[in-house]
Structure 1
Amino acid sequence: MRKPGGAALILGFILSFCSADLVITRPPKNATVLEDTRLLMHCEAAGNSKPRIKWFHNGDLMSRIGTNYKIRNTGTLRFRQVKVADRGVYRCKVESGKESLFSDPAHLVVEAEVEIIKQTPESGKLILPYNTGVRLTCWAAGIPGPKMQWRKNGVSIIDVEEHGVVIEEKWIAPDSILSSVLHTGNLTETTNFECEAVNQNIGGDSVQSKVFNIIVRQNEDTNKRTSGICLPYNGTRCASVLGTSTVFLNLSQPTPFEDQEKMAADLLDQMFNVETTKTIRERCNGHGEKLICNYVFPPCENYLNPKPVPLCRESCTAVQDLLCYVQWPVIQNSNIHVKLPTCDNTLPSKWELEAEGQPCTDANLFDRDQTEVTSHCYVDQGRWYNGTVNMTKSGKPCQQWSLNYPQKHKRPPDVYEELRDSENYCRNPGAEEEGPWCYIDSNVPGERWEMCDIPACGEEMESPKEELKMSWSTILIITVVGSVGVFVLGFVAIVCYHIVYNKRKVVRYKNTPQDDLEIDIQKLPANMSYHVVEEPIRLNPKLQAFEYPRNDIIYIKDIGQGAFGRVFKAKAPNILKHDEEVYVAVKMLKEDASDDLQADFEREASLMAEFDHPNIVKFLGVCAIGKPMCLLFEFMSKGDLNDYLRICSPEMYMNVRKHHTFQLREGETLSLDLIDQMDISQQIAAGMVYLSEKSYVHRDLATRNCLISDNLTVKISDFGLARSVHRLEYYKGSDNDAIPIRWMPLESILYNKFSVESDVWSYGVILWEIFSFALQPYYGMTHEEVVEYLKDGKNLVCPENTPQQIYDLMLKCWSRKPSHRPKFQMLYNSVSAFHEELLKKRTKDISEV
């Protein structure tokens, strides 16, 4: 509770002594705050007797306690979380004896981050007939009022005539809710539209967007619009794939065959010229060539009614996402006028159309080579191995290919012919690896897939005669030793029996037979002393030692909310041996969490349990017995570093700094100088040196994922995306993983590759955040514009008042080639040296004064 200032007390005493009139010594002031923040409005007065204080909102008298506020005995109006409905004019009325006095009006402005509150169609997805228009609507709310931007296939719609659309906007609620309607012309191909709402509030820029996927069905009538002819292929560029098979030539082109041949050549040249490793190149080339040739020259069987046979969705997806995942985005983003096929629901499925007698072409990607079909060994790379080995080299069980848990993947049996009816047996779909392998049926962090112990054909029969001789000799030795052992054991058993029998003269009871006894636990009488555990706890062994009784947790207050559930501050008595009461941050999994979310939740805890470093948030315990599952971490009093940097910014609004949620220590101020900034940078570098030495890639390194406590202690947190790379150069994330584009290098954005070197890039962005006081990187740009900015070789500009040598360090972190980026140990040494230099200079300056 805040006590009145010394000046107010002295003034009150003087006024009381002199029998002065009633005076408001601390009137309420105007304030501008963000919705859901804490707010105090003060009203203090002095008079002949202790004043009574009342509050009025927009002229109406306020009760002492409301749903969102409380008027303290001191007269302070305290909002727990300010809402938009709380904005307006506030006045306090003070009464002392027969005197009363109103304060001047104080205006409360409540701003709100932008939010798209409704969209039609709600699902964001529509399937339309060919040549049909559609109406799309987005409603966005925010204070100040939002602005709306529409995009078509990622391109901002500025000239509506060029994009064939009409946009209508109107305000539903003045200055707060905007309705934007987009009317399209008739669509002839699948198109993505996106509405993006933006507003600038006291907390900075806030952005939210929604995507509409409009799928246009290419029906039979559509195909008839394309005139063509079926002819044998007689070119050279696709001869190795097509031979002299009959293909479709599009007569709507000036020179059909030449135009299609050039299109195929352009695409294939682009694919072959992409710089990548030998393994990735070999994996893609044959499959990519088959797909492109069958896409440009579709099969065509009916000479009387020529129609191109489309690609099968499964084949297109396999090449795009698995076999040519590096080359594909490079070609898509190139400047050539021809484009790759769109591998989505507009392409037919081979399983759906086969039943209807309407084939699509799988581009011969999955033609089984019968000479390579084996069961006890594998030929070449083992693509057609069909044995029943279902364990990895290290003895770990294999996951079923038809399942997507615990390991997520994009290799379903309906895509790969070699995975059909494969159970959980080792396979090598698409010949991606050197031999058969499988995903590991385990939730252990760092264990995703492994090769299987299957010999290559020709290796499994080495030295058969020697093995046979050794086998016979081994059998003979085992037989002799076993016979002697049985005889000795039998003799000892008989002797023991007679000794026991002669010594014990007791009645013998026969045991109740157990072998054939079947008991249904559910049918036994109820007994409160026992219970049936429906789902046994399968906790990672690393976490069992961290189990903490959930009933001992003492709730204090909520801290935040995430996709996993709530985070709240609490006390955890005796969680540490040396301290009876410890404040903790409790991360609680929501009860309806999916199996994937629960697995990620436990995986993060398993990772954190391995870490022990002063700049890594410490994992203290887990509540896994009962639901919901809770993780307990050390409590960091000042919250996340991003918010703290914003509050410490010289340009930040005074009222936001005044109403921060954490308590300042004696003598502590909300400001950071260069030495403080270097200290923060040094601590984060120290934590990353530790992680990199343990071969962990964080993947989401940013100030929002660093926490700060007393004395500017900074610790790295939020390991929900971290992965162990060990000897692998890169970790390739799944497409379901969200990529923080503004903190990532191009190899992570375009190819989904993550490494220690990509974390180094992110550290460079963290330095930029620290010295810009948490401005949004590339602020003012959309995500698409950020990617183009990086492709052009541009970097973030140097923040104001940043030393040149620190900005030079940022530029080294942003080297385009990962191998050219500095190691974390080098970064730590550089930052530490500069920090020490600044400390010495400060000491010298003080001594001279």
Structure 2
Amino acid sequence: MKLLVWVVVFLVPIVAGIRSDGVLFTKHPVNQTVSQGNAVRLGCAFQGVMEPDIVWMKDGEKLYSTDQMFITLGDQHWETFHSVKSVQQQDAGQYWCEVEFHDLTFSSERAWIMVEGVPHFVQEPQDVATLPNVPFNLTCAAVGPPEPVELLWWLGGVQKGEPRPSPSVLLVQGVTSSIKFYCEAKNTRGISVSRTGTIHIKVLPSAPVGLQVLRILDNNVTLSWKPGFTGYSELSHCIVQVSRRSTRRWDHPEQKVLVPPYIRVLSSLRSYSNYSVRVSCVNEVGASPFSPWLNFQTPESVPMVAPRNLTFNLSEQQLFLSWAKLQDDELQGKLLAYRVQWTLGGEAQEPLLFKENSAQLSGAGRFLNASFQVSACTTVGCGPWTPPVQVLPASVQVQVQRSHMWVGLLLGLLVATVVGLLFAMLAHRRGKETQFGSAFKAPGPERLVSFTAAQSFSRNGAELQEATLDSLGINDDLKNKLQDVLISERLITLGHVLGKGEFGSVREAYLKMEDSSVQKVAVKVLKSDITSSGDIEQCLKEAAYMKDFHHPNVIQLIGVSLHRRPGQRLPIPMVVLPFMKHGDLHTFLLLSRLGEQPFDLSLQCLIQFMLDISRGMEYLSSRNIIHRDLAARNCMLNEDMTVCVADFGLSKKIYSGDYYRQGSVSKLPVKWIALESLSDNVFTTQSDVWAYGVTMWEIMTRGQTPYPGVENSEIYEYLIKGERLKKPPDCRDNIYEIMHSCWSPVPKCRPSFQHLVSQLEALWLSLSPSTPLKEPLLYINLEEEKKEPCNEGRGATSALGLEEAAVATSSCWSVPWQRLGEEEEEEDWLMVGSAAAMAIGGDYRYIIGPCGGTEQENEEVEVAGRRRDTLQEEMRDDDDDVIINV
């Protein structure tokens, strides 16, 4: 009974506020034609609503004007007026009024306001770019009232033909030089003149400008440039020429780069080499001149080969080692030292460092039966070792050489015998080939034929046929897009799982290429419990989007494969993607802050991450793609630490307009969604900009969860009150201003991705590169040290100068095995700072010094080198990626 009373009380106001037949319009706006400058008034009346929400509409958009009036005619009877005091041409259009009540919208009939006056242009002539003497059309259109409207063309100051009815198309047979043109529109009220257009003659483009090196990472160099004057024609591609100065010649390999974007990554360059690069761009007329040469040098690396021809000369008093110098191309850097490693009695001794390609060591008797190896070292590290050379007396060497000769001869005879036996067996087994196999005739009077089957077949377990796109039940358009990227399942070998999600899993895999090489890839595999073609089609739509992506900051599709399942009608789709060595950006940021061995990320590195993402999103927005799920977890880091935008499972392509309205219930990441998307399910490029601002916040906080302490269900109320993400600690004001501008409540007030790229590029260039300080390589001045005796506790004098704290120990370095009274001094020794010791590796306790002495006078110097462990395991924290139904 109480429930019935409550229902009656609740429904009475609703029944009283709206009639059973809804809103009833008692007056509609009517068509009106007025002269320009006069006043006009439209009226609309309706009944059936207690407290209506009334708006006037013009050409599909709401009117916000003070010249609107609302009058009460009676109980639930209302009248509204829209007035224009001085009608202008832009006021012409279609008008109606709308009443909104209880989430329902009621519209009146529509009426037109037509403004009489001189003609109004609805299509003005536009600038034209054409090749010489090529025919083209010019179009112009104008309307009244009053009608009719006639158009007259003027080309180069000369009237072309007679007046024609609007709209008008003028055929121009071709021109040879740039000229101006316009059209005149005439009716009974007067004449209007259109804008003046220009006919441009397409010419060669000018040379590109602003060629620069954006970054150098290992042997990969990223170049960027800006196009010069395009010659009134769209640029199709640019040509990049790269030259490396060698002792023999200049190389000029050309690389074709599709533009935009105007960026190129040069890979597989030689280390520590001088390069020059220049760029030319091409339009339909031809190629521009080349830009000036840009010179740069690639960073050092470890030597690529070991020193050659390691030999020794052993006398009664000393051991002399020598080896061939490495060439500059082989060093791949500036030579720091030659590292000599030796073992005696199976135990490794302390390594020695030498500046020259020879070593003279005193105390020859200590080196008998010792084994020596040499490697070259740069500041980055040491290269491969030479084969070991054992120090033996001359007589023993001759015996060893003879024994080696006999061993080689015996091995040769053994190999020849085995090869002969194999050929004999093959000759014996040769028989008559048939289409079924090989037939052999057995010796003896009885005929016996045996067959070796060429292929075996099993009737019990039939092999699964290769799955095709026709077996999926997807639409023909999607099928045609994926046909040329379909990869046979036999070419893919799946490995361990890299990550799991709602859609399925991502697995490491190996793809066999056409040239029989193997490429490491990542394979996105849909869940195995799928039962409908709709689920498969949704997965493959993501692959179809990625098929046409060609940008260094957007992940690109390698192909699509289909896994056939026994007993199942539908195969499982597998999307093959490039393997991203460093995983997703969110996990990488978390590891830098919360990993077992946290590491620092410089501000310049964080801004580079933001810049990479903005460039990728600028490319996607230029192709009318709305991502809808932009976040750090959906950005991947490749081998050279470049960020690529990925995961297009929620992406949509806009074919008309500039927005996409979510029509069904989906799981969406609430904390990254724009305000208007939460309220109206409308997604635009501006809503992607909002998500980009949240991604910037993630990067600056090294992977923190947005809106800490705010529940997902509270996000909308939190944002509608004007609250936004707080400024992260240690975040510069200009960076926070950029991300905060992405969260404007008015979508059109947010910056475009193109503007964001410009802002971040300027910010990145304003930062000075943070290069880690390395201790210099210190060479001791031997001539000065010879003048002074080596006193214990006295600092050595360096040609480059030494800090007092670095020379607190004695400078009297001596060879631990040097015989007492030996006066010969080693000339080719060096001392390295801690940074160089870290680069070469090892614990150098004994370094050849210029001062002789007894074993009791020898001092040990320890150079401690710390090494940073490489992060091998990827971690993923899905708790930060909370999604709810919207």
Q: TM-score, normalised to structure 1's length?
A: 0.38
Q: Give 1 or 2: higher helix fraction.
A: 1
Q: Give 1 or 2: higher strand fraction.
A: 2
Give the number of the structure whose alpha-carbon radius of gyration is greater: 2
